[in-house]
Amino acid sequence: MNSMPLLRIVPPVVRIARRPQRMVERQLMCYRRTWPILLSGFFEPLFYLLSIRVGLGKLVGDVKVGGRILGYAEFVAPAMMASSAMNGAVYDSTMNVFHKLKYARVYDAVLATPMGIGDVALGEITWALIRGLLYSCAFLLTMIVLGLASSPWIVLSLPICVLIGFAFAAVGMASTTYMRGWTDFEFVPTATMPLFLFSATFYPISSYGSWAWVVQLSPLYHGVALVRAANAGQSSWGNVGHVGFLLTMAFAGLWVVSRRLQSLLVK
């Protein structure tokens, strides 16, 4: 059997990568002294979930989704978890990468060694995913402690959040290669804020009526739907579609990164 057609869908940065783990090692070295900064990321879910549990959850009544009745906090918590995975990945792949690309010249030094742009791109995205996974674990723990987890299947939210992070980190890094200066980053919240608000985050997709198709264009919606399904312990063919959407986004992002990073870093 010929494996070439299959190989061809793999973005070039992945194919040419040989030692992306070294970029991850570099990040671990950086955090060896500054690991308390990582801790700050654990407070975010706590505050989010507490505010819902204590505040919103009391004000807003139960929600009916797919024939099941859920407490509002149980409904919103998975969406928060998915959004948090998105935000972390976007931050790591835009601001952090841009700084290293333009100002710290970290990659210039790296590329003078046997490392290549595939190692840089894949290494940085992998790091974003590892960090994201840590935060997702914290989020999950907090949910369990606050009694917001309703099914053992919720553990699947961890790989789902890694997938969400992968999709957003790839696209985030791709957009970063087009940024000319810090002012361009003001467009980042312009993109993520509406996603956060209109991805069936705070109300079920049924309440969008005939506009539901717009919501389905939001990648975060697919992430939210997956985490919600995990929390409800519901499997359906729709989930395959959600996974497919996020994977497509990740690969598309990596393709752009492959093309752009070469022209940015290799002059």
Partner 1 sequence: MSPEPLIHATGLRKQFGDFTAVDGIDFNVQPGEAFGFLGPNGAGKSSTMRMIGCTSPISGGTLRLFGLDPATHGRDIRRRLGVVPQLDSLDQELTVEENLIIYGRYFDLSRAEARRRAVELLDFVQLTDRAKSRVEPLSGGMKRRVTIARSLINEPDLLLLDEPTTGLDPQARHILWDRLYRLKQQGVTLVLTTHYMDEAEQLCDRLVVMDAGRIVAEGSPRQLIEQHATREVLELRFPAGTNADNEAYALGIGDRHEVLPDRILVYAHNGDEALAKAIGAGAKPESALVRRSTLEDVFLRLTGRTLVE
Asked if 35 is part of the footprint of partner 1 (rule: CB under 8 A), the reply reads no
Asked if 25 is part of the footprint of partner 1 (rule: CB under 8 A), the reply reads yes
CB of 94 to partner 1, least distance (A): 18
Are the C-beta atoms of residues 227 and 143 closer than 8 Å to each other? no
Residue 135: phi and psi, rounded to 5, are -65, -40
Binding range to partner 1, per CB under 8 A, among 15-23, 47-55, 138-146, 192-200: 15-23
* Contact pick of 10, 30, 69, 247 for partner 1 (by CB under 8 A): 30
Residues β-bridged to residue 69? 64
HEC letters along 186-212:
HHHHHHHHHHHHCCCCCCCHHHHHHHH
Are the C-beta atoms of residues 250 and 9 closer than 8 Å to each other? no
Nearer to partner 1, 97 or 140 (CB): 97
Nearer to partner 1, 8 or 267 (CB): 267
Asked if 37 is part of the footprint of partner 1 (rule: CB under 8 A), the reply reads no
Asked if 197 is part of the footprint of partner 1 (rule: CB under 8 A), the reply reads no
Asked if 26 is part of the footprint of partner 1 (rule: CB under 8 A), the reply reads yes
For the window 116-135, what string marks contact with partner 1 as x by the rule CB under 8 A? x-------------------
Are the C-beta atoms of residues 220 and 82 closer than 8 Å to each other? yes
d(CA 125, CA 51): 31
**Which spans in the chain are helix H?**
4-8, 12-16, 21-34, 36-50, 57-59, 72-91, 97-98, 106-111, 117-145, 157-176, 187-197, 212-216, 219-232, 237-265
Nearer to partner 1, 30 or 69 (CB): 30
Are the C-beta atoms of residues 199 and 220 closer than 8 Å to each other? yes
Asked if 155 is part of the footprint of partner 1 (rule: CB under 8 A), the reply reads no
For the window 74-113, what string marks contact with partner 1 as x by the rule CB under 8 A? ------------------------------xxx-xxxxxx
By CB under 8 A, name the binding residues for partner 1: 18-19, 22, 25-26, 29-30, 104-106, 108-116, 266-267
